[in-house]
Structure 1
Amino acid sequence: MERANGRQQQKAAPATSTPDRAKRAPRTRASAPKAEDRPGIWTAYGKVLRRFRKRAGFTQELLAYRVGYSLEQTASIEQGRRPAKAAFTVAAERELDAGGVLEDLQEEVDFAKLPAFFRDFGLIELDAVSRFDYDPLLVPGLLQTPEYARALFEANIPALDPDTIEDRVDARISRQKLLTKTPMVDFSFVIGEAALRNVLGSRQVMRAQQEHLLAMGELRNVSIQVMPMTVGFHPGLNGPIVTVETCDHQHFAYFESQGIGHVVSVPAEVSMFALRYGKLRSQALNEKESAAFIRQLAGER
């Protein structure tokens, strides 16, 4: 767990004379990305952090103490070996009086945590005015709880190292700011019944996930519908579909399978995806029926 557990005990802060490089725990090969694989924004963030830290007269050890992170974690962020999380940035802004500079960089840091195959579409969805999503087997990423997302990444084949898992979870949860951003984006989600019944992680994880779906469905700009397994043929049997309209009224579609993503921009093909999605919405349970269905499932667990 990256954040220190509980409140810091009342004790004297570490001496500011402690050298920056002292007491650093070595990183394992499994959790340290190769230098050539590290996104440039991680290094840039670290350099800016170092400048503000030195301006404030802090050693790495003192900064780590003040923000509630370990010295090794703080050093890794400053050296660009690991990305900062939003909680670290908020604390560092407060302690170093960074004037919002680190917060401005955080969005780019989060974006660089996304899998490479998703980044092209990730840029597109940042400009969305509408985003329609159908997934037959999984709860869509924008609606996942951290525990559900972690269960997915922990089951990845080939296995991901713990740091990568945490980065992927953090990136997925950070993207969910799209649901409540201003101006509002119009979201529609059609979720296959199988995604709601398949137990990922544990029954407790699934119950929390279903309750989260009910809460998200209360947002004015979010529509959630369930596609029953008894509906027979529908145009989503070929796999997941996402369609997006951007603020300049460009239209895109996106689908992925086995860790490979495809952005579709040819108008005729995007129109085909939109037509299929419209049919999916007409065949799924309506919003009220879907909420009742999810509520019933949550009560069964």
Structure 2
Amino acid sequence: MTTDHVEPAVPGGECEREPDPSDSLRTFGAVVQALREHAGLSRVQFGELVRFSKHTVESVELGRRMPDASFVERAEEALGNTGALRHSARFLTRGDAGLAAWFRQWARLERTAVSLCTYECRLIPGLLQSEGYVRALCENEIPPLSDDALEATVQVRMERQQLLRERPNTTFDFVIEEAVLMRRLGGAQVTVEQLDLILDLGFLRNVTVQVMPANSEQHACLSGPVRLLEMPDGRWRAYSEGQENGRLIAGPKEVSRIHMRYARLRSQALSPKDSMGLLMRIRGAL
């Protein structure tokens, strides 16, 4: 896929301008719309009954938004308590909503990987981002994101982050530039919450966080960010991303070179213990 056929994305490859509806979201939305119309309600009237905006009702009916539990319950009550919405809501899936088109294949591989390695020099890695940080990224996107795209991004980023806790036998290694941790994206409070989250996740047994110090005289990954993962069959894949594009790398020789650079970078970064200490000092200075 060329850059002429994809939409702009929030940095980190995990957002696109409008989420792609999954079949289950489309079907659920069509059922809501059919029941609403059968009841003789406009979207505005129905929105008042379920205490959601007309815009949200429209997004759900078109399959662009995952309805939360309160929407399902209020809609069920407003549309006759048939049980149809409660039952069908259990089978809803987001598909790849909120993910950039070029990032989707990598995101699918993440779900089954036995090991993931990430180096970032631009921003906090997506799997470690707090909700406030994600919103700050979206709010800085040019051109601005729609409300639906912003909310889809936040939700899918938070859902992806559950991998760290749901896959305790998968190892997650992160190397982050010190300069990224010093950036006050979103303001002091967002930064505090973001650092607290990294510290919290960094103490999980399957997660390792290392900081690449700003005063380092050596650096093995000057070519840019690195993502690597090991598949269940032992094969490795890499992922490279730039502005408006991303590329899954499967060639053994190319993946091997990237793997060697990452391994050297880990030896150049602060140890996990020293990295956590530095994070605590940065957090304490705020």
TM-score, length-scaled by structure 1: 0.76
Structure 1 counterpart SS, 2:92: helix
The equivalent residue for 1:104 is: 91
Q: Does 1:227 align with 2:209?
A: no
In structure 2, the CA distance between the partners of 1:244 and 1:87, relative to structure 1 (3 Å rule), is farther
Deviations 1:218-257, CA, capped at 9 Å, x for gaps: 1111111111011122112211001011223332101211
The equivalent residue for 1:269 is: 254
1:88 CA displacement: 5.5
In structure 2, the CA distance between the partners of 1:180 and 1:85, relative to structure 1 (3 Å rule), is farther
Q: Is the 8 A contact 2:177 2:214 kept in 1?
A: yes
Q: Does 1:198 align with 2:180?
A: no
The equivalent residue for 2:121 is: 136
5+ long unaligned stretches in structure 1? 1-31
5+ long unaligned stretches in structure 2? 1-16
Q: Does 1:78 align with 2:84?
A: no
CA distance in 1, matches of 2:235, 2:73: 38
- Which of residues 221, 234, 237 is equivalent to 1:236? 221
Q: Percent identity?
A: 36
Structure 2 counterpart SS, 1:166: helix
Aligned length: 262
CA distance in 2, matches of 1:209, 1:221: 19
The equivalent residue for 2:21 is: 39
Q: Does 1:166 align with 2:148?
A: no
The equivalent residue for 1:116 is: 101
Q: Does 1:217 align with 2:199?
A: no
The equivalent residue for 1:181 is: 166
Q: Is the 8 A contact 1:241 1:254 kept in 2?
A: yes
1:124 CA displacement: 1.4
The equivalent residue for 1:19 is: none
Deviations 1:237-289, CA, capped at 9 Å, x for gaps: 21100101122333210121113111101111111111111111111111111
TM-score, length-scaled by structure 2: 0.79
In structure 2, the CA distance between the partners of 1:128 and 1:50, relative to structure 1 (3 Å rule), is farther
